[in-house]
Structure 1
Amino acid sequence: MVTVGIDPHKHVHVAVAVGADGRRVSRPLTVKNDAAMIGVLLKWIRSVADGAPVTWAIEDGRGFARRLADGLLLAGHEVLWVPTRLMAAHRKLHAATGSKSDPIDAAAVAHAAIATPGLERHRIDVQVRELRVLVDLRADLVRRRTMVINQVKACTHLWLDHTPGDLTRAPGLASATTLLRASQMSGHVRRALAEMLSETAGLNQRIRDLETTIRDLVSPLAPALLEITGISHISAAVLLAEIGDITRFTTSAKLARYTGCAPIPVYSSDNQRHRLHRGGNRRLNSVLYTAAIVQKRFHPDAHELLARHEPTKGARGARRILQRHLIDIIHRAMTQDRASWKHHITQHQLAA
């Protein structure tokens, strides 16, 4: 059995092959992150493994390594994701004190994969891959729109002593345009502000079009998830894009830890307490925070839960309890949606 640990980067990936006894079986390989990398890696590992089964372990930097993982999986190999913290722990165990390099990190990834059964395996889901691209694009457009709107408001406040209203909607843009035309300012300033307002209108339209596309894609994939109060189509798309196959989280507790909603025990002796987990996927944590705020306003059961815990835990502590409770509901809903979707695919294949 050979485990290949890979330390991914933007331009190159560094691979180290480790045997079942934990010893390196070859020199490290550095491969360019281009279209030929899969062929180079497979040719190299065939000469190294000598027919032994191979498992590929990649440090969990999916922005750089997703294409690599997809290529290896499509080539018929097993691909594992190793959390960065786990890799760092094994680097301290196996490397000299204070030493760090790409080959050392790659070897630590392989050692972590050998020592930790049950690591997440890479999967390819076409629908989730499409959603991930659209969700990331929407987030980028929203950031750009926020930047332009802030510039518009700063400039109009300087020249007009007035800050326009909500520029993400048509009435606010129309009001700002009318105010701009009636103001006394130089032609250069008026033209610059008009261009910024025009860019804001274009970004608004692009975001609305993306949201329509996302709604059409999410609706058949997550009907149970969308029934949860506080989970919009955009929130559901983020959940699907970040989590992917919900079956990789066998319990809701594992999902809670992944999202940063599971409190961390820090007690000793007779002093039992927990502290807030500041790690986890922050995008998912933001979705759960928003859902908790919405449920606080509109869901009677959530309001009752918060009222029960606020006297002892405070407002923030009670909200975190609600977020942890929402994880259980979301895990059940996504599991139900996954089973329904697989059944639909199976029936479609049988009919064909």
Structure 2
Amino acid sequence: MSEYDGHQYVGIDLHRRRSVIVRQTDQGEQLSAVRIVNDPVALGLQIEQAGTRPDVVLEATYGWYWAADVLQAAGAQVHLAHPLGVKGFAYRRVKNDVRDAADLADLLRMGRLPESWIAPAETRELRELVRYRAKLVALRSGLKAQVHAVLAKAGVLIAVSDLFGVDGRAQLEQTALSGAYAQRVASLLKLIDILDAEEALFNRRIAERLRGHAGCGAIQWLPGIGPVLAAVLVAEIGDVHRFPSADRLCSWPD
């Protein structure tokens, strides 16, 4: 515990492997500046030095989840700085990690911090599933585009509306391609099948998470919104009650 017994403000400049932690008094006097290797135990020990329920700020940067969870478990009041709102740091002539952490603490202490919402763990897990499903679909789309490209090189046109539907796949497998072209298409089709199976698996996992979710059911009454888009909206919006009105939700920039 620090000898200073007043309320403390803590700024953390979080990086992938190491982070800098700056502690300040409620008047802005710097108490310490420490560099740690990213580790829950090391972070927890440093926050113990900040007294009871310190205000702690870190930027919504790469891999912030673990740090926010450790800080909250340690009893800190955690604030998440919006990256776009703190871009002003770039103007400084002197720029280093200690200054970045101190500036975050200053903004928080003076009530000028542009904050992002810290989604609870359950919402973050749902986002992980929904966003990963979207990545699987994007990867599969890239593979399908490669199949079309190979066929174009070989001068092959298969006249179906969906090359990867039942009829399209049947014709594709009967198409005579030679050498490297045939080998590449065969490989691409195997990868597409794997991604199809993985997408189906994550669709089931998402559906299980959202079974009985009132908001997910209600939003699907809107024209054009099915289970996939409903899951995206629920995951990204999170607790809709954090918005004071429908207009504020519709103007939400994140």
User: The TM-score by the shorter chain falls in which range?
Assistant: 0.7 to 0.9
State whether residues 104 and 113 of structure 2, in contact with CA within 8 Å, keep that contact through their aligned partners in structure 1.
no
**Match of residue 208, structure 1, among 178, 200, 206:** 200
1:156 is displaced (CA, Å) by 0.9
How far the C-alpha of 1:71 sits from its partner, in A, is 1.8
Say whether 1:30 aligns with 2:24: no
- Give 1:24 deviation, angstroms: 2.0
- Report Cα offsets for 1:11-46 as digits up to 9, x if no partner: 22222112212232212x22223xxx2322232233
% same residue:
27
What does 1:258-297 align with in structure 2 at a 5 Å threshold? 258=252, 280-281=253-254
Q: Structure 1: any 5+ residue segments left out of the alignment?
A: 259-279, 282-352
Q: Does structure 2 conserve the Cα–Cα contact (< 8 Å) formed by 1:135 and 1:237?
A: yes
Amino acid at match of 1:141: L
Shift of 1:81: 1.0
Amino acid aligned to 1:12: R
User: Given that residues 177 and 197 in structure 1 are in contact (C-alpha distance below 8 angstroms), is that contact kept between their aligned partners in structure 2?
Assistant: no
* Structure 1 residue aligned with 2:244: 250
Distance 2:103 2:84 in 1: 11
1:289-328 alpha-carbon deviations (Å, 9 max, x no partner):
xxxxxxxxxxxxxxxxxxxxxxxxxxxxxxxxxxxxxxxx
Q: Deviations over 1:53-98 (max 9, x none)?
A: 401111122x411111112222332211111233234x37xxx843
Q: Which runs of 5+ in 2 are unaligned?
A: 1-6
Q: TM-score normalized by structure 1? A: 0.62
Q: Which has the higher helix share?
A: 1
Matched residue count: 244
> Secondary structure at 2:22's aligned position in 1?
strand
SS of structure 2 residue aligned to 1:220: coil
Q: What's the CA shift string for 1:126-181, capped at 9, x where partnerless?
A: 2x233222112212211211121111111111113426753453333223222x2x
Counterpart Cα distance in 2 of 1:168 and 1:24: 62
Residue 253 to residue 161, structure 1, CA distance change in 2 (3 Å): same
Judged with a 3 Å threshold, the aligned counterparts in structure 2 of structure 1 residues 256 and 30 are, in CA distance, closer, same or farther, namely farther
The one-letter code matched in structure 2 to 1:24 is: Q
Question: For 1:168 and 1:214, how far apart are their aligned partners in 2?
Answer: 24
Matched residue, 1:56: 56
The answer as to whether partners of 2:68 and 2:78 remain within 8 angstroms in 1 is yes
Structure 2 vs 1, CA of residues 219 and 196 (structure 1 numbering), >3 Å: closer, same or farther? same
- The whole-number CA distance in structure 2 between the counterparts of 1:254 and 1:30 is 39
Distance 1:129 1:220 in 2: 19
Write out aligned runs for 1:332-351 (5 A): none
Kept after mapping to 2: 8 A contact 1:145/1:203:
yes
Deviations 1:225-264 (A, max 9, x none): 2222232222222222222222333333443333xxxxxx
Any residues of structure 2 matched to 1:211-222 within 5 Å, and which? Answer: 211-221=203-213, 222=216
- What residue is the counterpart of 1:87 in the other structure? 86
Q: How far apart, CA to CA, are the structure 2 residues paired with 1:71 and 1:169?
A: 47
Q: Which residue of 2 aligns with 1:223?
A: 217
CA contact (8 A) 1:14 1:106 kept: yes
Structure 1 residue 52: deviation in Å?
Answer: 5.0
